[in-house]
Amino acid sequence: MPKLFRVLLPCTFLAVFCTTLTAANALQQPKDFSEIEKVAAEELHQTNTPGAAIAVIRGDRVVFAKGAGISNIETGTPVTPDMLFRLGSTTKMFTAAALVTLAEAGRVRLDQPIGNFVSGLHPKIAALTAHELLTHTSGMLDEAPMYGSQDDDALAREVRSWKEDRFFTEPGDIYSYSNPGFWLAGFVVQEVSGKPYADAMVDRIFTPLGMTHTTLRPTMAMTYPLAQGHDFSPGKGPFIIRPHANNSASWPAGSIFSNVNDLSRFVIAFMNGGQLEGKQVLPPAVIEKLSTPHVDTPDAPGSKYGYGLTIRDFRGVHMVQHGGSRAGYGSLIWMVPDQRFAVIILANRSGASLDKTAEKAMEMFLPLTLKPEPKPQVELPISEAEKAEWVGTYQNLPTDKIEIFARDGKLFLRRGTSELPLRKTAENQVSAGAPGNPRQAQFTFVRGKDGRTLYLHSGGRAFRKAG
């Protein structure tokens, strides 16, 4: 080997080693979390949200947990990490985990009709599989009534009352977010466990993971520090929702009370092969099944859905996550298992999730790519064939119809009393909004098995074309 190469190779190795060591040391250095707190304060103000609790997880430990803002607009009590919030749809990953633990124990099959394991269901409901329920491919319509019965038997009474009118399309045909589908999944957990859903969740998930303050029951939650649920109106500002919204029939889709400390235990176990504090608290197969991309989400290219989890790439990292929105509260859990990193945010205003704060936490720890510059939408011409094929009435709930119609050679969208012009932005994609308004609703046309347009997809929900 020439002398020059004998000199350069050790130097090259040393440079690479030092670069790697520097990067590793950077990850181990104590972080200044003041920037997260600053962004959180700004986002609370921007979104008219009274308060939030934030946790950042790295590896097998919580590296940051803190409250921001206030838990009650009337008392001014500060938020603390031990305060309970209601999660909304982030609950779905826990319902999914409970059902898959039953499958791993051999007590239910995910690919067989649920009528094989529970009784008293309408034949079409009984023919659904747990896989279809957990992937939102059941063909069931979507709704989320916030108020209802307070009794444990409400879930069974609800799902056993369903008939064919609960379907807006055929099972297995398309991904369409359905809260009732997860009510039904929770019912399977309840019936196979032989206990009310709330108690089955304690046995199968909360107790094994040491989530000692997590509950479905409002009368239990109120005995712990609890952030009150708020809403906002321009003339009134933030206000506490009274009475507290509760519907025990819908608990499996969005009603867990928890805090960032308890949720961190689930997240740590999830990212460490089901292990927590040296114990195997979840079967590895449960984590694998939840985080496997099972179906495409038509209105979010590149995004897929597992069991109770959305799976997508975000600024160069692979993320599994879910958000939650319900009366009074909002939440998010973002996990990057490859990096063993997660951020949890719980907020006390309807639908608030503080995405900017979560992204700031990710920027502090992860090798994210640069944030892409927003691209101005270009309006594409709509062909006469597209106009003819897209015109029609699309429906999910009987009370929620979307009509696409032509007038003066242009397409418009009517939903309720709103009537907006359509602009084509990509193949089979359109936006609807008032001219000049930057907030445009996005819609995707999806073809059926015969190649003709059958669905209009927006916000995770599919609307089937009439006729």
Closest Cα partner for 405 from 415, 392, 420, 395?
Answer: 392
Q: pTM of the prediction? A: 0.92
CB under 8 Å to 229, separation ≥6 — which residues? 86, 240, 241, 244, 245, 327, 328, 329, 348, 349, 350
The one-letter amino acid code at 9 reads L
245 close to 350: Cβ distance less than 8 angstroms: no
User: Based on the structure, what is the number of domains in the chain?
Assistant: 2
- Specify the CATH number for the domain of residue 427: 2.40.128.50
Task: Give the residue numbers spanning the domain of 436.
Answer: 384-465
DSSP secondary-structure letter at 274? T
In-domain check, residue 221: yes
Give the burial string for 427-461 (b: 16+ CB within 10 Å, else e). Answer: eebbbbbeeeeeebbbbbbbeeeeeebbbbbbebb
pLDDT of residue 438: 72
| Residue after which a domain boundary falls, among 337, 365, 393 | 365
136 and 269 fall within a common domain: yes
The answer as to whether 373 is a domain residue is no
Neighbours of 82 (CB within 10 A): 15
One-letter amino acid at 58 equals: R
Question: In the prediction, which pLDDT does 10 show?
Answer: 44
For residue 58, is it within any domain?
Answer: yes
- Angle between helical axes of 34-46 and 355-365 (0-180°, round to 10): 160
Tens digits of per-residue pLDDT, 243-273?
A: 999 999 999 999 999 999 999 999 999 999 9
Provide the pLDDT for residue 18. 42
Q: Are residues 304 and 423 in the same domain?
A: no
| 28 found inside a domain | no
How large is the average pLDDT for residues 283-294?
97
SS3 270: helix
Is residue 12, in this structure, part of any structural domain at all?
no
| Residue 226 shares a structural domain with residue 100 | yes
- Within this chain, do residues 419 and 332 fall inside the same structural domain, yes or no? no
- pLDDT tens, position by position, 155-188: 999 999 999 999 999 999 999 999 999 999 999 9
Q: Are residues 64 and 139 in the same domain?
A: yes
Q: Are residues 70 and 136 in the same domain?
A: yes
| Residue 175 placed within a domain | yes
CATH number at residue 265: 3.40.710.10
Question: Residue 11 domain-assigned?
Answer: no
In a domain, 94, yes or no: yes
Least confident range of 142-156, 286-300, 424-438 = 424-438
Q: Distance of CA 98 to CAs 22, 262, 303, Å?
A: 42, 16, 24
CA-based diameter of the chain, in Å? Answer: 84
Does residue 353 sit in the same domain as residue 405?
A: no
Q: How, if at all, do strands 341-347 and 51-58 pair?
A: antiparallel
Residue 110: φ, ψ to 5°: -70, -25
For 183-219, the pLDDT digits (tens) are 999 999 999 999 999 999 999 999 999 999 999 999 9
Gap between the Cα atoms of 195 and 203, Å rounded = 9
